[in-house]
Structure formats: C-alpha cells, structure tokens
Amino acid sequence: MRVFVLGLAMAAAGFAADVQFVAEAATAMVDGELVKQIQTAKSAASMLKKDPRDPWAASDNYDVNHGPFVAVKKSLIRLSRLCPGPCDLNLWMPLAGAPGKVQVVIRNRHEISQFWVWGALTQDMFPEMARVLASGERVTVRKRAGMVSVLTPVRDSLDEIVALVEVVLQEKVDPQENVQ
C-alpha cells in the first residue's frame, strides 16, 4: 500500500514537473503586447459599468479583436501540445480599472481550470494569481482533486507583467465533462 502511495506521489511529482516546463515555455512565448489588444476598448469599458436594468449587459457587450485573440490562442494551443496529457492553457488578466478583479480571456478545448467558475465574466482576484502578477514567480496550485495548475507570468515589451497563463492538467480526464 505504501509503495502504491509512493508511486502515485512520484507520478504526481513528474506530472507537475512536466507542467512546470510548459509554463516556462508559456512565459517565453506568449506576447504580452498582443494580449493587451485582445479585448475591445468598448467591451472593457462596459465591464466596469453596472446597469441596474440589465445584469447581463457586460456579458452581452463582451467583445474581442479577432486578430490578437486568434494569435494568442494559437500560441496556447501549440504550447498545450507539450503537455504529457490532455491539458489547457488559460489566459488570465487583471481587470483594468477594477483592482482586485481578474478575468479569464482565453480558454481552450477541455475547458478545465482550477479557478474559473462556469460563465463568470469576471472574478475576484485569487491570492495565487496576485502573487504571480506582483512577483513574476511561477506558482503551482493543487486546489481541486486530480488537477494541477502552474500559474506563469506574461510580460509585455516593457517587461511589465500584464497577464498570466494557467497551465492546467487533469490527471484523469472525464470524456463527458464540459460537453454541454
């Protein structure tokens, strides 16, 4: 039994190391200048407004510029092919003008994340993400059973951290999950 548990722990450690490698590559490859161009200015402004008549206004107005979105998404897909199993790279950005808020900006095929709440346009900043955005450290997160994420910073041409990538891998994939 102990041998089995040790084996699992070793496998999990190897898993995390693989994800760590993909995260390092993500920091190197994802272009922070492009990332900043993804959301349209009008959409970004709409996210800061509260419409008492329409709680869905920000979602309905959510919009992106096709070119930067596609370019960054392609980088994320390409990087995901370095993972040892099915994984997603999710792009997260702090919400400009709303301290303490974060939004996922690009998700991918398996729709897995340890942070995203399905359908949420914005979320409160997670401490792990705040740490990455402030320090540039890579942070490994194991909040949900069977999942490991590495949060890694994304920098622009001024070497400012403007976003982060969540490289997330699920140890056991549920084929029916997120098919909806």
Partner 1 sequence: MKLGVLALAAAAVCAGADLTVLPGHVRVDPFGQITAADRGAGVAPARSMVVESARAAHVSCRLVVTSAAAAAYTLSVSGGVEAELFREWFHFLPKSKAYIVDALIPVALPAAAQLPAADNKVAGQTAQSYWLDLWVPANARAGAEKVTVVLEAGGQKSAVTVEVRVLDARVPDKDAVVMDHNAYGTSWFGGQYPGLAKKPGFYLSDDFFGLIHAYHRVYYEHRGVFHQLGYGHGGKVGEEFAPRLEGAGKNRHVADWTYYDKHYGPLFDGSAFAKTRRGAQPIPYVYTPINPEWPASYLWWGEPGYEREFVNVVGEMEAHFRAKGWTKTKLELFFNHKKRYKAFEWDGDETRFPKDFERFREYQRLMKAAMPAGSPVEWVYRTDASWQMERQFKELAGVINFWVCGGGMFGWYLEEGLERKKQGDTVWIYGGTPPVARPSSHVTKELLETWMLGVDGFVRWLTVAPGADPWFQFQGGGETLVYPGERFGISGPLASVRLKLERNALEDLALLETYSASKGAAALRAEVARRYNGTEVKDWHAPRPRLADGDPSEWTNADIGEAMPKDARFDEKLDAGAWARVRAYVMELAKEGRR
Does residue number 107 form part of the binding site for partner 1 (CB under 8 A)? yes
Closer residue to partner 1, CB minimum distance, 90 or 152: 90
Residues 106-138, buried b or exposed e (16+ Cβ, 10 A)?
A: bbbebebbbbbeeeeeebebbebbeebbeeeeb
Does residue number 178 form part of the binding site for partner 1 (CB under 8 A)? yes
Q: Tell me how many residues contact partner 1 (CB under 8 A).
A: 37
Least distance (Å) between residue 94 CB and partner 1: 15
Contact region for partner 1 (CB under 8 A) — 5-13, 58-66, 131-139, 154-162?
58-66
Binding mask 146-175 for partner 1 (x = CB under 8 A): ----------------------------xx
Residues 28-59, buried b or exposed e (16+ Cβ, 10 A)?
A: eebbbebbbbbbeeeebebbeeeeeeeeeebe
Does residue number 108 form part of the binding site for partner 1 (CB under 8 A)? yes
Does residue number 104 form part of the binding site for partner 1 (CB under 8 A)? yes
Do the beta carbons of residue 147 and residue 124 sit within 8 Å? no
Classify residue 103 as exposed, middle or buried by CB count within 10 Å of its CB (0-12, 13-18, 19+): buried
At position 165, the amino acid (one-letter code) is V
Closer residue to partner 1, CB minimum distance, 91 or 148: 91
Does residue number 77 form part of the binding site for partner 1 (CB under 8 A)? yes
At position 144, the amino acid (one-letter code) is R
Least distance (Å) between residue 89 CB and partner 1: 12
Token pair, residue 152, equals 């890694």
Nearest to 148 by CA among 80, 87, 79, 82: 87
* Interaction site with partner 1 (CB under 8 A): 51, 53-54, 56-57, 59-66, 69-70, 73-74, 77-78, 88, 104-111, 119, 121, 174-180
